[in-house]
Amino acid sequence: MALPAHPQSLDTDWGGLRQQVLASVEAHQEHLITFLRALIQARSLTGQEGAAAAVCAAKLRELSLDVDAWEIDGAQLRSHPAANPSRFSYAGRPNVVGRYKGAAGGGGRSLLLNGHVDVVSPEPLDAWTRDPWGGEVKDNRLYGRGAMDMKGGIACMIIALESVLAAGIRPAGDVLVECVIEEEEGVGNGTLGSLLRGYTADACIVTEGTHLQVQPAMRGALRWKITVPGSAAHGTEKWKGADAIEKGIIVWQALRHFEDAMSAIHTHPLYAGYPISIPVAPDMFQAGVWRGMVPPECVIEGYLETLPGQSTAYWEDALRAYLRQVAASDPWLSTHPPRLDITERYEAYEESLTDPFVALMQQIASDVTGEAATLNGLNGGCDAYIRHVYGNSPTVIFGPSGGGAHGADEYVSVDQLRDATRAMALAIVRWCGVA
Ligand SMILES: [Zn+2]
């Protein structure tokens, strides 16, 4: 694939510049670890991101960037079709953007690097053998809640820019570093808040952990809630009621059939490596009010994960139609149909694989890993769709990984931290050019 045109100065001495960038990243290894540890120590469950945002803002000011730290306007956010429900106030938990103003005065291409500072709970704590808020390094791993998802990526993107600037290299285009809140719950809201504030660029990297694979696509998802009616009765006279657990199990089994049938029909080349094409994943099953009572209601909740190509509206219709069929085949449910509510959604996307930015990132990934870089899709969702679908920017997901994300003993590989920082630094100079 053809690479994008570069400013003349970059083409003439790319080899020298590359070495300069890589040497500077190497010299900033200690900064990378120190900064990531401080960021992990700033506990930041969704809704409590203030301290982590402050750590990012302080670092970005240290780099002499134009730093904007602001609280999202909830009313403005909710008026956008992509906004997801949030149970938190936006007070005291700012989004933070640092902007390096391109040396070409608007002449170079701009690049935006995005990461979310919020993390999921480390509970249950007794499953951990390390301090989830410690940032301890052991055997090439840095441990802590958020190490992989995704404070590691944030550290890489900030230290990548620091390394470039410290080497005396002046990117021609603007470089924006965006540290947002509210991705783990209310996915997309933090990034949408930044887009609505006017921050956008000619290309974006969302630095979620991808094991250094370039991912120009992600799944969309529907969060669904199915309420299955029953009818209460004394347990000794259960024939007078309708057991909502029994009816809920019928629905649960039907969802498994739906997953199998849909996965057989809907496939996508960037998702060929995953065992299930359309995961339908219940994660809550609640029923029962009192002992001795036939359960009057069952509520099942979960996600349906989509592929690029079909909107969440398509899948909502499909699921609704299917549940009607399921209800029609059961005497009770046919007259007491389950109710489907969609409580959260975000859209899948895929970037054109011939987009120059995708090609550039693929080449850079091969450069830093020494292996041919294959493209695939993120097996889940993140904020990248806001940048692609609503910001109209070519967007890839790329970052360092480890293990234990959303589980115990989460860590990020120190080697991958270094390689991801190299790649992001190279992406800054190659995409934005140098003055
Ligand atoms: Zn994440």
Residue 106: the pLDDT is: 66
Distance 387 CA to ligand 1 centre (A): 15
Span from the CA of 407 to the centroid of ligand 1 (angstroms): 13
CA of 31 to the centre of ligand 1 (A): 22
- Output the pLDDT for position 298: 98
Q: How far is the CA of 156 from the centre of ligand 1 (A)?
A: 14
Q: Considering its fold, how many domains does the chain have in total?
A: 2
Residue 187 CA to ligand 1 centre (angstroms): 9
Q: Give 107 or 274, the one with higher predicted confidence.
A: 274
Q: How close is the Cα of 146 to the center of ligand 1, in Å?
A: 8
Q: What is the distance in A from the centroid of ligand 1 to the CA of 152?
A: 10
The domain boundary, picked from 346, 368, 387, lies at 346
Same domain, 36 and 170: yes
Q: Is the pLDDT of residue 18 over 90?
A: yes
Give the distance (Å) from ligand 1 centre to CA of residue 118. Answer: 8
For residue 2, being part of any structural domain is answered with no
Residue 64 burial (C-beta neighbours within 10 Å; 0-12, 13-18, 19+): exposed
Q: Is residue 317 part of a domain?
A: yes
Distance 300 CA to ligand 1 centre (A): 25
Pair (191, 261) in one structural domain: no
Closest to 278 in 3D by CA, of 227, 322, 337, 212: 322
Provide the domain limits for residue 295: 221-346
- 231 C-alpha vs ligand 1 centroid, how far in Å? 41
Contact indicator for 399, 420 with CB cutoff of 8 Å:
yes
Q: Tell me whether residue 1 is in a domain.
A: no
Is residue 59 domain-shared with residue 140, that is, in the same domain?
Answer: yes
Q: How far is the CA of 183 from the centre of ligand 1 (A)?
A: 7
- Neighbouring residues of the ion ligand 1, judged by CB less than 5 Å: 149-150, 208
Are 203 and 246 part of one and the same domain? no
Q: Are residues 148 and 410 in contact, defined by beta-carbon separation less than 8 angstroms?
A: yes
Domain limit, last residue, from 322, 346, 370: 346
Domain boundary among 346, 379, 413: 346
What's the CATH number where 67 sits?
3.40.630.10
pLDDT band for position 46 (cuts 50, 70, 90): very high
C-alpha 420 to ligand 1 mean position (Å): 16
The per-residue pLDDT for range 337-376, each reduced to its tens digit, is 999 999 999 999 999 999 999 999 999 999 999 999 889 9
User: Are residue 236 and residue 315 in the same domain, yes or no?
Assistant: yes
Percent of the chain whose pLDDT exceeds 70: 97
In whole angstroms, what separates CA 201 from the centre of its chain? 19
Tell me the longest C-alpha to C-alpha distance in the chain.
86
Q: What is the CATH number of the domain that holds 282?
A: 3.30.70.360
User: Residues 169, 20: contact at Cβ < 8 Å?
Assistant: yes
More confident residue, 8 or 91: 91
Residue 3 lies in a domain: no
**How many A from CA of 321 to the centre of ligand 1?**
32
Q: Look at 163-167, 220-224, 342-346 and tell me which has the smallest mean pLDDT.
A: 342-346
pLDDT, position 15: 84
Question: What per-residue confidence (pLDDT) applies to 2?
Answer: 39
β-bridge partners, 357: none
Mean pLDDT of 204-215: 97
Same domain, 244 and 332: yes
